[in-house]
Structure 1
Amino acid sequence: MIRPRRPERKAPPLLPPLKLYKAILRTHVHKLPIELRSLGDEYVKAEFKAHQNIDNPLHIVGFLTQWQDYLKNLDGGSWQEGKLSQEDLDKMSPEQVNQLYELMLETKRLGSEG
Structure 2
Amino acid sequence: MRSTAVRLVRQRRPTRNESPLLPPLVLYRSILRAHVHKLPKDLRSLGDHYVKDEFKAHKKIDNPLHIVAFLTQWQDYLRQIDHGSWLHNKLKHEDLEKMSPDQIGQLYELMKAAKRVDEDGEHTE
TM-score in terms of structure 1 length:
0.91
Q: Tell me how far apart the structure 2 counterparts of residues 57 and 10 of structure 1 sit (CA, whole Å).
A: 22
- Counting only pairs closer than 5 Å after superposition, residues 18-97 of structure 1 correspond to structure 2 as 18-97=25-104
Task: Verify: 1:108 aligned to 2:115, yes or no.
Answer: yes
> 2:20 and 2:97 mapped to 1: Cα distance?
27
1:10: how far off?
A: 4.1
Root-mean-square deviation (CA, aligned residues, Å) is 1.0
| Paired positions, count | 107
Larger radius of gyration, structure 1 or 2? Answer: 1
2:8 is matched with none
CA distance in 1, matches of 2:80, 2:39: 12
Match of 2:20 in 1: 13
Question: Structure 2: 5+ residue runs without aligned partners?
Answer: 1-14
Equivalent AA in structure 2 for residue 102 of structure 1: E
Q: What 5-or-longer segments of structure 1 have no aligned partner? A: 1-7
Paired AA for residue 71 in structure 2: L
Runs of 4+ in structure 1 displaced over 4 angstroms? none
Encode CA deviations 1:14-61: one digit per residue, 9 max, x unaligned: 000000000000000011111110110010000000101111101000
Task: Tell me the residue number matched to 1:3.
Answer: none
> In structure 2, what is the Cα distance between the partners aligned to 1:70 and 1:112?
24
Structure 1 residue 9, shift from structure 2 partner = 1.9
How far apart, in 2, do the equivalents of 1:87 and 1:69 lie?
16
Q: Which residue does 2:9 correspond to in 1?
A: none
